[in-house]
Amino acid sequence: MTNHLYDALIAPHADNQAIFLECDDGTALTFKDFVARAAQIAHVLTQAGVAPGDRVVVQAPKLPDTIALYAACLQTGAVYLPLNTAYTQAEVSYFIGDAEPVLVVCDAKDEAKIGEITKDTETVILTLSADRGSLSEAADSKPTAFQTVSRGEDDLAGLLYTSGTTGRSKGAMLSHKNLGSNARVLTDLWQITSDDRLIHALPIFHTHGLFVAMNTALLSGARVRFMTSFDIDTILEELPRSTLLMGVPTFYTRLLGDSRFTAEITHKMRLFISGSAPLLAETHIAFEARTGHRVLERYGMTETNMITSNPYYGERIAGTVGYALPGTDVQVTNPDTGTPLPSGEVGMIEVRGDNVFQGYWNMPEKTAEELRPTGFFITGDLGVLTQDGRLSIVGRAKDLIISGGYNIYPKEIEDVINDADGVTESAVFGVPHPDFGESVLAAVVADKATALDIDALKATVEPQLARFKHPRRYIVMDELPRNTMGKVQKNVLRDAYSG
Ligand code: MLC
Ligand code: AMP
């Protein structure tokens, strides 16, 4: 029986007594114990009726059992569907409706809310919480071995939702091969081995913290300092005994903002990796000046896993995202015609390779729009290649705000604001923010007849959207700036309200 990803990431550790996860409370779990725990959870999944190909929705805290649940999904052939813990009931309701999971695993505090969403379905709910939960308790009494379900490289391993420019989130279908190939390439390129100790302070519901960080650690047998969340004091404490950090740019600006962050405490560190949002060249330069380390910036997407990386050996250039990963093709095309452009010209970044997803769940038209018959995926990012193939991202063709590494699609927020009483229309846009990179503002045009009450508007909008999507300021305008075609000029709003 072969299982493409389980056999690569989990099975080899069945007898590995080395430490895998070190937690905030001082407890540690060996790889061997992790494999056994995943097997116990796999038994719980099958008992709950999860069959190969079934989706398991997970909106749970960052715990060792949450990672073991991911491994158990691989082992049982289920499709792992993680959700941001900040998502509201309205947001989660859409994902559950679209993905039709057999099982939802949530924090015990959210069980009633999830129950409300699934009440007319057969969906089973189990809980995972810091103080245990029904999934963990059920797993305790299960056997520590499980007959691994056979899965091929094209079978789905993950379904990760990414918001769309139309406002509706799209589920990116990721196969065993998509995840396995990228983990191999990154582990090799970044030279990750069992001698490494990775500081893991990212959430585990996105590609970065789950696949980039955990899959490479599992593949290489690296030790992971598994932090519940980003906490600067803990990071500073852990740096002198660690070798690797993966973070969003906010991690690096926060570290630089702290005078305790010195070259001395980074002397054991081998590699600092940044991604998910642009790392400002000034951050890269200041980081090197402070520590002597050049941050390695890489570029990726939920749909494609990682696409490019600055070199491990060789020049890491501030403001560039490096070369296409081995086995991945990157081209820059004319956004209107799709024709490849020569180096030096700005255009649409497109990517092809084993890392590129299988399409959007239940959305064949969307898949056809973004995934060419040639296998190239149209990223929506604008970039330019040098003659020797080094990529720089220069902008986005998609209307997207990236705040602290979280993607925020203005259309989703505009739809909620426009539905509120007293609003004619709105435009949501991003402005530079010193900590999060970008921050969300909303320009709102009120109905002529009413005086808009911003507090009432917030009270309508905010319960529907995760906190990180909330506009930090509402600006009431008589009308939105538009070009001659009638299109809202968000660049005009951005220029007017930056700073
Ligand atoms: C938290 N808040 C945010 C926010 N994170 N607001 C906007 N954007 C964010 N990213 C809110 C909180 O709700 C809180 O609201 C307030 O800001 C202060 O919170 P905090 O405690 O200071 O934030 P913190 O917990 O420190 O989180 C910041 C962060 C976190 C940057 C560490 O957002 C984070 O871990 N981001 C990583 C996201 C990520 O993994 N992205 C990868 C996507 S994959 P209040 O109520 O107090 O006002 C991908 C592909 C690829 O993009 O290439 O990798
Ligand atoms: P997501 O949809 O959450 O997977 O986010 C993917 C998007 O993040 C990409 O399309 C880029 O716009 C952005 N992104 C990821 N890495 C980088 C980077 N190093 N520099 C600039 N943008 C990035």
Give one DSSP letter per residue of 199-224, joined into a string: EE-S-SSSHIIIIIIIIHHHHHT-EE
How much is the pLDDT for 451? 82
Residue 301 near ligand 2, beta carbon < 6 Å? yes
Q: How many CB atoms lie within 10 A of CB 100?
A: 14
pLDDT digits (tens, 9 = 90+) for 435-461: 999 999 999 999 987 789 999 999 999
Q: Cα(95)–Cα(160) distance, rounded to whole angstroms?
A: 10
Residue 19's pLDDT band (boundaries 50, 70, 90)? very high
Q: Which atom of ligand 1 is nearest to the CA of 408?
A: 8
Average of per-residue pLDDT across 266-282? 97
Q: Is the pLDDT of residue 166 over 80?
A: no
How much is the pLDDT for 448? 82
Q: Cα(212)–Cα(160) distance, rounded to whole angstroms?
A: 14
Q: Cα(276)–Cα(186) distance, rounded to whole angstroms?
A: 15
Residue 471 near ligand 1, beta carbon < 6 Å? no
Element (H, E) at 236: helix 232-238
Average of per-residue pLDDT across 291-312? 98
How much is the pLDDT for 449? 73
pLDDT digits (tens, 9 = 90+) for 25-50: 999 999 999 999 999 999 999 999 99
Q: Is the pLDDT of residue 155 over 90?
A: yes
Give one DSSP letter per residue of 90-124, joined into a string: HHHHHHHHHH--SEEEE-GGGHHHHHHHHTTS--E
How much is the pLDDT for 450? 75
The chain-wide mean pLDDT, for the chain, equals 97
Q: Cα(377)–Cα(439) distance, rounded to whole angstroms?
A: 28
Residue whose Cα lies nearest atom 10 of ligand 2: it is 301
Coil/strand/helix, residue 455: helix
Coil/strand/helix, residue 230: coil
Ligand nearest to the CA of 350: 2
Q: Which residues pair with 329 in a beta bridge?
A: 352
How much is the pLDDT for 109? 97
Q: Cα(408) to centroid of ligand 2, in Å?
A: 12
Q: In Å, how far are 21, 385, 425, 479 from 457, measured between CA atoms?
A: 44, 45, 13, 18
More confident residue, 166 or 50: 50
Residue 381 near ligand 2, beta carbon < 6 Å? yes
How much is the pLDDT for 310? 98
Q: Is the pLDDT of residue 167 over 80?
A: no
Q: Is the pLDDT of residue 172 over 90?
A: yes
Q: In Å, how far are 84, 90, 343, 441, 495 from 438, measured between CA atoms?
A: 19, 25, 29, 10, 13
- Name the DSSP letter for residue 312: S
How much is the pLDDT for 256? 98
Average of per-residue pLDDT across 487-492? 95
pLDDT digits (tens, 9 = 90+) for 404-442: 999 999 999 999 999 999 999 999 999 999 999 999 999
Are 200 and 213 within 8 A, CB to CB?
Answer: yes
Task: Report the b/e string of 477-490 with b at 16+ CB within 10 A.
Answer: eeebbeeeeeebeb
**HEC-encoded secondary structure of 12-61:** HHCCCCCEEEEECCCCEEEHHHHHHHHHHHHHHHHHCCCCCCCEEEEECC
pLDDT digits (tens, 9 = 90+) for 79-128: 999 999 999 999 999 999 999 999 999 999 999 999 999 999 999 999 99
How much is the pLDDT for 209? 98
Q: Cα(21)–Cα(245) distance, rounded to whole angstroms?
A: 15
